A and B are shown apart, each in its own frame.
Chain A
Amino acid sequence: MTTDRRGAREPILQVKGLVKHFPLTRGVLFRKQVGAVRAVDGVDFDLYPGETLGVVGESGCGKSTVARVLMNLEPPTSGRVLYKGEDITRLSGPALKAVRRNIQMVFQDPYTSLNPRMTVGDIVGEPFDIHPEVAPRGDRRRRVRELLDVVGLNPEYVNRYPHQFSGGQRQRIGIARGLALNPEIIICDEPVSALDVSVQAQVVNLMERLQREFGLAYVFIAHDLSIVRHICDRVAVMYLGRIVETGGDAQIYEHPTHPYTQALLSAVPVPDPDARGGRDRILLTGDVPSPAAVPSGCRFRTRCWKAEPRCEERMPELAVPRAFRDSGTPAEHPSACHFAQERVRVLPGEEPVN
């Protein structure tokens, strides 16, 4: 499925060499830069129309900063974000406005991302004030009701306020607003992590349905590996500002070759008590280093059980490891490790299906 999609079409969004550093300064009168938080430090990926790309990683890995740069909410330190071949980080004025119409965002926290003093109708209809060409004035009310209906909310609720809704319903309001301008891409930053389990499934299903109906491409940023597996066609694993491994969902989940991905997957508790102890658990020691003091060479080496002097000296590139090049196996996907190795049985449970 993934290969068909990729072969057939041009990517809709290309991220090339994206870097975002936040300067650390000292001094009040004479501010001088004493360092930088290297939140994103060289990220490349492509997004194809209609697909879902998952970006996973732990807190501080830079995944949310990537989202903010993609939305042009932050200018990158360097690198390019190409929407249909055009670098959006250099746009301004009407050209930027036109691009933004097509790239929308859904935020994590449905409690703070909706203005409490606006009615649902105003929240969902607000994008039309900025882009009046999408819906003529007289038609807005109808459009808003339609949007509420699409996301499974009662259209009669247009005059209610956000506090009158539950978390799941608020997230639906956020999604309705994201859909208002018929975008092609939606950047979702932890869209379901604030929701209860039983409501999470409803919102995930809604997002999948909308993708089918409107041909949306999602960049799905999350720390929950199970949800990412469920919803994504392709996955990029981030660690300290860089992508360490990327591939199709089965490639990453069933044939990971980067030690960090392997450790991450093995740490996820699986809801099956029979699998207890039956899996190959990798317990990492220590914490993620601060992005203001990134280790030399491979960033993961300080926690990696395979680290050798070479890892300190040379930063591994994100490429298909030599051992798997042209192997035709699922392990043939980019992995930024000098000692990339396949590890089967990272996950418990049944044998991998195909």
Chain B
Amino acid sequence: MDTLTESPLVPRTDTLLDVRDLHVEFRTRDGIAKAVNGVSYAVARGETLAVLGESGSGKSVTVQAVMGILDSPPGFVTRGEILFRGENLLTMPADQRRKVRGAKMAMIFQDALSALNPVLTVGYQLGEMFVVHRGMSRRDARAMAVELMDRVRIPAARQRVGDYPHQFSGGMRQRIMIAMAMALEPDLIIADEPTTALDVTVQAQVMDLLAELRQEMGMGLILITHDLGVVADVADRIAVMYAGRIVETAPVHDIYRAPAHPYTKGLLESIPRLDRKGKELYAIRGLPPSLTDVPPGCAFNPRCPMARERCRTEVPPLYRVTAERGSACHYWEECVGDD
């Protein structure tokens, strides 16, 4: 069978970020936790890639490695390449990498309250981007901050530019985070659970804003999330992670229509739906594995309804399902087929 050894589904043109065979481990007192075990994905300009996974799947650790903000020690990148516009970030000198980060790629964190500095005004923090990266004067930087706040639709930006983060609501703080990420018009934005802490009506506002700005500026977006609803709303492609690996990757429509991995399938079946009243929910049995003790063979095999002998011994590679799809299941054909 055909397998995908290279970065799966390398976008046709204009690849921004190309992560290849990334391995990250945490060396802790309780042993080595293998958080990321050979992850490859790529994002092109103007494209939204959603990385879907539950806690401990390695989805956040992967982007921390990309941004170079991994806690090290205990975290170490042990293998792989992270290519940004063809240049390997991992071998780049630190000061050069710092220039890429911030100006070319930026990150939006889940918890805006702890990501912003509580003792500095938002205007100062937004303006700092321009002072540091563009050498602007404080005064010009402040004007830019007001403009940015307008752009993310914070009402009365001119009056509020001198306010501190705690004076804003959760949704407004997340807008400030977005403004900060957009400040230098980066090529790539990584958003790690950007709306998880927000209420649903505010979540909708923030996601819409993000999608709009992304389109306007033609950026690439990596959206890290556990919410299958948000993914369906905004993503072009999905990478589903489990125990530090990508188990399935596909264009968004394909995956919802016919998942090619039993884990994806289980996830889709286990969420209650707003638009219909179901009977009993399908529940994936058991628990996600501990990363210090990942099962041999396919990491999902102890919870998989389709598992057989081969799954317990042989780690499945990412099989090619179609030109644009990959599944790390020995029996993906059965999985797609029995729908």
Contact = CB atoms under 8 A, between A and B. Distances in A.
A311 B270 CA distance: 41
Interface stretch (B158-166, B181-189, B200-208): B200-208
B277 A271 contact: no
B169 A223 contact: no
A349 B229 CA distance: 13
Interface string B204-229: 11011000000000000000001111
Interface string B252-269: 110010000000001110
A283 B266 CA distance: 31
Contacts of A349: 273, 275-276
Given A58-B200, A271-B256, A287-B172, A198 B267 contact: yes
Interface string A184-208: 0000000000001111111011001
Interface string B158-198: 00000000000101100000000000000000000000000
A269 to B, nearest CB: 3
A125 to B, nearest CB: 25
Given A168-B287, A230-B281, A284 B232 contact: no
Contact of A230 (B202, B208, B277, B287): B277
Contact of B271 (A166, A201, A265, A285): A201
Interface residues of B, number: 47
Contacts of B201: 58, 263-264, 267, 284
B131 interface: no
Nearest to B227: A269
A153 B197 CA distance: 30
A267 B204 contact: yes
A273 B229 CA distance: 9
A273 B256 contact: yes
B54 interface: yes
Nearest to B203: A267
Given A271-B228, A273-B232, A347 B267 contact: no
20 contacts: A58-B202, A196-B54, A198-B288, A199-B287, A201-B271, A201-B281, A201-B284, A204-B272, A223-B199, A225-B274, A229-B274, A230-B277, A253-B275, A269-B227, A270-B232, A271-B229, A271-B268, A283-B205, A349-B273, A353-B277
List the 5 closest A-B pairs by CB distance, nearest first.
A269-B229, A230-B272, A201-B270, A58-B199, A349-B275
Interface of B: 54-55, 155, 169, 171-172, 199-205, 207-208, 226-233, 235, 252-253, 256, 266-268, 270-278, 280-285, 287-288
Interface of A: 58-59, 166, 168-169, 196-202, 204-205, 208, 223, 225-227, 229-231, 249-250, 253, 263-265, 267-276, 281, 283-288, 347-350, 353
